[in-house]
Amino acid sequence: MSLAVAVVAHPARLAAAELLAATLGAHLVVDEHQQGEWPTHARALAWAAEQDASHALVVQDDAVPVPGLLEHVAAATDAHPDGPIGLYVGRTRPRPEQVARAVAQADEVGASWLEANTLLWGVATVLPA
């Protein structure tokens, strides 16, 4: 597994994004023309595709990475190489009831993953490149 890491940033949060990118050794993609998150994420994925990596990690500028994030990402992609893998799940939206049930069920069986038919948040996402 090889990983291309990109941080996507809104210009208003540029300082935080630069620090996050430096911390992760990531490429920084800034929404300089106020196009919005989807085009900015698409630019980050296009950059990652050019890096000859097996996977792309796209992290939003407001993320707070856990210690050892990149090692956790490597383990996650080894376990689920065909991704996508969302590294954060929103408990209050977009699907709070479904997430609450899934978290309770995961706790019951000792699972460390939730499965869904869609990403449930976009703070940090891993995709096959």
User: Is residue 66 a part of any domain in this protein?
Assistant: yes
Total number of domains in the chain:
1
User: Is residue 83 a part of any domain in this protein?
Assistant: yes
Distance CA 48, CA 4 (A): 5
User: Is residue 36 a part of any domain in this protein?
Assistant: yes
State the pLDDT at residue 90: 80
pLDDT tens by residue, the chain, 129 residues: 899 999 999 999 999 999 999 999 999 999 988 888 889 999 999 999 999 999 999 999 999 999 999 999 999 999 999 989 999 888 888 888 988 999 999 999 999 888 888 877 789 999 998
Could you tell me the residue range of the domain that residue 29 belongs to? 3-87+122-128
User: Is residue 98 a part of any domain in this protein?
Assistant: no
State the pLDDT at residue 3: 95
- Contact between 13 and 31 under an 8 Å Cβ cutoff? The reply is no
What does DSSP assign to residue 10?
-
State the pLDDT at residue 104: 94
User: Is residue 115 a part of any domain in this protein?
Assistant: no
- Which residues partner with 58 through β-bridges? 6, 125
State the pLDDT at residue 121: 79
**70 backbone dihedrals φ, ψ, rounded to 5°:** -65, -35
State the pLDDT at residue 15: 96
User: Is residue 7 a part of any domain in this protein?
Assistant: yes
User: Is residue 103 a part of any domain in this protein?
Assistant: no
- Which residues partner with 6 through β-bridges? 27, 58
User: Is residue 8 a part of any domain in this protein?
Assistant: yes
* Type and span of the H or E element at 100: helix 96-109
Distance CA 36, CA 44 (A): 13
State the pLDDT at residue 66: 94
